[in-house]
């Protein structure tokens, strides 16, 4: 049996967010400086490419989640990001966080390939 710990929260959220209809991708969050540092860390092999892109900060009984998402152009970005919020909130409530702070940002709208349905 696999036991899930709180360290799995970012991965669990990322997996669920990617499954939301209309979500095309997840992106790195943070300031420009932190993203450049992050890119350097990946080049040096200090940080792996497969680490969760969702940022989760736990402080006592509270939690803050920050995620940057890309959506498909066929859906409305607002509608998709609201669906993502509901999914993330449900996961966090399942972990016992009654009032999580969730910050979601659409950073890219992906055009459908020409000829696609």
**Separation of CA 13 from chain center:** 7
Is residue 77 close enough to count as binding other proteins by CB under 8 A? yes
The full DSSP string for 11-52 is: HHHHHHHHTSTTEEEEE--S-HHHHHHHHHHHHHTSS-TTS-
Contact indicator for 54, 26 with CB cutoff of 8 Å? yes
> Shortest Cβ distance from residue 2 to other proteins (Å)?
27
- Scanning residues 25 to 44, which ones bind other proteins (CB under 8 A)? 25-28, 32, 35-36, 39-40, 42-43
Interacting residues toward other proteins by CB under 8 A: 25-28, 32, 35-36, 39-40, 42-43, 49, 53, 68, 70-71, 73, 76-78, 81-82, 85, 101-111, 114
């Amino acid at each position: 049996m696999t036991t899930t710990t709180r360290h799995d929260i970012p991965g669990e959220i990322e997996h669920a967010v990617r499954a939301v209809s209309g979500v095309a991708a997840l992106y790195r969050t943070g300031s420009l400086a932190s993203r450049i540092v992050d890119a350097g860390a990946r080049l040096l092999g200090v940080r792996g490419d497969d680490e969760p892109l969702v940022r989760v900060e736990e402080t006592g009984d509270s939690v803050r989640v920050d995620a940057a998402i890309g959506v498909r152009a066929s859906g409305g970005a607002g509608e998709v990001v609201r669906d993502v919020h509901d999914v993330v909130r449900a996961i966090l409530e399942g972990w016992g966080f009654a009032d999580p702070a969730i910050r979601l940002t659409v950073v890219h709208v992906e055009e459908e390939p020409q000829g696609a349905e």
